[in-house]
Amino acid sequence: MRDLAAELAAIRAADLYRKPLCIEGTQGPVLLVGGRELLNFCSNDYLGLAADPRIADALIDAASRYGTGSGAAHLVCGHSAEHAALEEELAAFTGRPRALLFSTGYMANLGVIAALVGRGDSVFEDRLNHASLLDGGLLSGARFARYPHGDVSALAARLADAGGERLVVTDGVFSMDGDIAPLAELARCCQAHDAWLMVDDAHGFGPLGQGGRGSVAQAALGLKDVPVLVGTLGKAFGTAGAFVAGSEELIEYLIQKARTYVFTTAMPPALAAATRVSLRIVIAEGWRREHLAALIAQFRAGAQALGLRLLDSPTPIQPVLVGDAGAALAAAARLRERGILVTAIRPPTVPPGSARLRVTLSAAHTPEQVERLLAALAVALAG
């Protein structure tokens, strides 16, 4: 048997040990942890909707009407009128004929990739793709290859030699670097090589594009360019779950073949009802994106003035590179001493030698809070 205690000790010795943080109260720019208030700069609640009372009220009202559980998988008796309505509204939001709900983004990615490719086929993934996309490719049974981050020329060379069905998979916004994939170039490359293009826009929906429609919309790409579009609801939308948007045929095929859809209990109907309210807020309240963009510009200007090592990110994800995992942990601890919560991201989430403080901004933050973060970073990274 494996010596789990020894392996855990080795993880701890390498400064790679992880444990969950216990939050008291709601999500927001200020969190209560162990009875102490901490200014929160590590959430994916980009539009500040996770504790919006309008969404909470919709959830409570729907739970009183539909109960707390769906009771079954979508294909048994778990598909409610709220699920159907949300799917229709997400399809309209993305400008696609159909959308399909999944319980989580991880399950959506696993299910879609395995449904579209298998033995004898090929799947190509950006080297910095999220773990769910990489796992989906590996578990599909297809020939699996990773291309250098954002390198469309390298991808094209690999596609030219591939057989069977060819699927290219990328994040729209990369979760640890905050940069945006070269989506227009990827779309042209895939069309030239008769390959599917799948974009997981988990971190793009909400902050980017007209009405928050994401990085694909921001790049002015449509269904022909990106046949498979995935989004999650637990980040900027402030609820939970995920969806895939595409053609009528794609969605019908996934209903038949995506095992993580067929064999999983549907999300609670009340959650779908709450997400419908959230979706309306995302579209209507453009001031949230405008305010968020101003905060991003403020943070980047202040960080550059301090000489901090930033990556080239135009999104709410603003990593501050540290390098060593232990140094990143120490910097995060010094921030927490000053009442600031920022997560130290370490391998294997990021490559060795690129540990970082992953700063994330929200429309719920104020300019004053950003200035407080910058002042704390100046001290924490000074050693």
Beta-bridge partners for 344: 357
pLDDT number for residue 383: 62
Average pLDDT of the chain, as a whole number: 96
> Radius of gyration of the chain from Cα atoms?
21
- Is there a single domain that holds both residue 276 and residue 371? no
Residue 105 counted as an annotated binding residue: yes
Catalytic positions, written as ranges: 175, 203, 235
Res. 84: pLDDT tops 70: yes
**What mean pLDDT comes out for the span 85-104?**
98
Q: What is the pTM of this model?
A: 0.95
107 domain-assigned: yes
Query: Does the residue 18 lie in any domain?
Result: no
Tell whether 376 is covered by a domain.
yes
| Domain around 67 | 53-284
Percent of the chain with pLDDT over 70: 100
pLDDT at 163: 86
Beta-strand runs (E) in the chain? 30-33, 36-40, 98-102, 122-126, 143-147, 166-171, 196-200, 228-232, 242-246, 317-323, 340-341, 343-345, 355-360
Of 284, 314, 335, at which residue does a domain stop? 284
18 assigned ligand-binding residue: yes
pLDDT tens sequence across 121-150: 999 999 999 999 999 999 999 999 999 999
Q: In whole angstroms, what is the distance from residue 227 CA to residue 199 CA?
A: 9
Same domain for 58 and 206, yes or no, is yes
Q: How many domains does the chain have?
A: 2
Instruction: Tell me: is residue 106 an annotated ligand-binding position.
Output: yes
**Residue 255 confidence (pLDDT):** 98
Using alpha carbons, select from 352, 346, 342 the residue that is nearest to residue 380.
Answer: 342
- 349 annotated ligand-binding residue: yes
Q: The CATH number of the domain where 361 resides is what?
A: 3.90.1150.10
- Is residue 261 marked as binding? no
65 labelled binding-site residue: no
Residue 13 lies in a domain: no
* Residue 15: per-residue pLDDT: 87
* CB atoms inside a 10 Å sphere around CB 99: 21
Which position has the token pair 């855990």? 8
Contact, 125 vs 131, CB < 8 A? no
Are 172 and 194 in the same domain? yes
φ and ψ of 165, to 5 deg: -65, 140
Look at residue 292 in the predicted model and tell me its pLDDT: 98
Report, as an integer, the average pLDDT of 277-305.
Answer: 98
User: Taking 80 as the threshold, does the pLDDT of residue 13 lie above it?
Assistant: yes
Residues 212 and 320 in one domain: no
Q: Compute the average pLDDT of residues 9-33.
A: 92
CA dihedral 307, 308, 311, 313 (to 10 degrees): -90
Tell whether residue 132 is among the known ligand binding residues.
no
Domain endpoint, select from 249, 284, 319:
284
Within-domain flag for 29: yes
Assign 250 a pLDDT band (cuts: 50, 70, 90): very high
